[in-house]
């Protein structure tokens, strides 16, 4: 598929593993007619509409696949309809019509959504946020989300508990049966907890400009913090995969063909 037909995050200046592995072209070979485009993966201002306006692209010719929004005021959103050819968003509670819920396609990544091999704790932190990394111990591993997949998987597979301020750290952790101490700075953290029927703890919010708040919350998670998990993680995993596969098949009516592949 020509890259011009797929719109996604520019990761050249600041790489983000979650944004890299949450795009549908990681999981499908997609054949798409020239007049259509797909925007997928990650959080966008106005659910991608601002990006399309800047690119002078008509959203009526665009498929929006599992995108989200991140509002740092941590307010709840309400979406009636988006002007895309076909669309689904990952922010389930924001939708008046739940049929437009489309969870992040990285649920198809069986290397990430896999069982831990040990019982260590991983502190997984957004690389753009100030954090004092001086807590590594034998049973505590530390990693930022600008790592490449091999390094990520090496540490991820060793840990059954996760302390994180990453949307995908929470999503992947809960989806694979791990226990998660969630830290957040925008409404996307409300959204990711809610799709597992969990509520994000208000006391775990922080403002990224406050240099000490993230460190304090990480320390709390490693000592006396409440961890969250779902015993229904396998059910959620199957449901999220099925929703994405059904969405991929629904695009056939536009002449868009999606064939599932193993992620690399």
pLDDT, residue 73, reads 66
Say whether both 126 and 215 belong to one domain.
yes
Does residue 136 carry a pLDDT above 70? no
Distance, CA of 9 to CA of 67 (rounded, Å): 11
Q: Is the pLDDT of residue 152 over 70?
A: yes
What is the span of the domain harbouring residue 193? Answer: 120-232
Same domain, 134 and 42: no
Residue 113 lies in a domain: no
Residues 146 and 191 in one domain: yes
Banded model confidence at residue 72, pLDDT cuts 50, 70, 90: confident
Mean pLDDT of 48-77: 89
In a domain, 244, yes or no: yes
- Are both 127 and 223 inside the same structural domain? yes
Smallest CA-to-CA distance from 5 within 55, 68, 69, 70 is with 55
- Whether residue 58 is found in the same domain as residue 162: no
Alpha carbons 91 and 69: distance in angstroms, whole number: 8
Does residue 157 form part of some domain? Answer: yes
Question: Is residue 115 one of the residues assigned to a domain?
Answer: no
Report phi then psi at 48, rounded to 5: 90, -10
Query: Does residue 135 share a domain with residue 87?
Result: no
Mean pLDDT is lowest, of 2-16, 58-72, 145-159, 206-220, for 2-16
Question: Do both 156 and 252 map to the same domain?
Answer: no
In a domain, 114, yes or no: no
Read off the pLDDT band of 138 (50, 70, 90): confident
How many folded domains does the chain comprise?
Answer: 2
CB contact burial 198-210 (16+ within 10 A = b; e otherwise): bebbeebbbeeee
Q: What is the DSSP letter of 101?
A: B
Contact 241, 28 (CB under 8 A): no
44 and 60 in contact (C-beta within 8 Å)? no
| In a shared domain, residues 129 and 101 | no
CA gap 62, 148 in Å, rounded: 29
CA-wise closest residue to 162 among 176, 147, 149, 178: 178
Given this model, what pLDDT does residue 209 score? 83
Give the mean pLDDT of the chain: 93
**Residues 220 and 189 occupy one common structural domain:** yes
The pLDDT assigned to 137 comes to 78
Q: What is the mean pLDDT of residues 98-120?
A: 97
In-domain check, residue 97: yes
Does the residue 19 lie in any domain? yes
- Percent of the chain scoring above 90 in pLDDT: 82
- Assess whether 220 and 248 both reside in one domain: no
Tell me: do 165 and 194 sit in the same domain.
yes
Asked whether the beta carbons of 165 and 70 are under 8 A apart, the reply is no
pTM of the model: 0.95
Answer yes or no: is 56 within a domain. yes
3-state helix, strand, coil in the chain (%, to 5): 35, 20, 45
Give the count of beta carbons closer than 10 Å to the beta carbon of residue 40: 25
In this predicted structure, the answer to whether residue 1 has a pLDDT above a threshold of 50 is no
Q: pLDDT tens digit string along 154-199?
A: 999 999 999 999 999 999 999 999 999 999 999 999 999 999 999 9
The pLDDT score that the predictor gives to residue 160 is 98
Residues 223 and 136 in one domain: yes
Give ∠ CA 87-93-97 in degrees, rounded to 5. Answer: 50
pLDDT tens for 212-261 read 999 999 999 999 999 999 999 999 999 999 999 999 999 999 999 999 99
């Amino acid at each position: 598929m020509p890259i011009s037909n797929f719109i996604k995050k520019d990761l050249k200046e600041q790489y983000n593993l979650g944004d890299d592995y949450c795009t549908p072209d990681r999981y499908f070979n997609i054949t798409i007619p020239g007049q259509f485009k797909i925007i997928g993966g990650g959080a966008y201002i106005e659910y991608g509409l601002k990006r399309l306006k800047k690119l002078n692209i008509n959203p009526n010719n665009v498929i929006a696949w599992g995108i989200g929004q991140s509002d740092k005021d941590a307010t709840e959103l309400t979406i009636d309809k988006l002007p895309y050819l076909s669309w689904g968003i990952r922010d389930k509670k924001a939708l008046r019509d739940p049929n437009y819920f489309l969870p992040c396609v990285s649920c198809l990544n069986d290397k990430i959504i896999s069982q831990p091999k040990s019982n260590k704790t991983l502190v997984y932190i957004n690389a753009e946020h100030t954090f004092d990394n001086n807590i590594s111990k034998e049973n505590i591993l530390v990693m930022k989300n600008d790592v490449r997949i091999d390094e990520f998987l090496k540490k991820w597979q060793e840990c059954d508990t996760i302390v994180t301020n990453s949307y995908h750290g929470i999503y992947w952790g809960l989806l694979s049966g791990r226990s998660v101490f969630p830290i957040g700075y925008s409404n996307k953290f409300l959204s990711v907890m809610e799709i597992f029927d969990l509520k994000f703890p208000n006391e775990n919010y922080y403002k990224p400009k406050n240099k000490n708040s993230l460190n304090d919350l990480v320390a709390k998670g490693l000592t006396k913090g409440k961890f969250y998990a779902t015993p229904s993680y396998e059910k959620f995993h199957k449901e999220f995969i099925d929703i994405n596969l059904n969405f991929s098949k629904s695009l056939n009516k536009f002449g868009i063909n999606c064939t599932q592949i193993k992620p690399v």
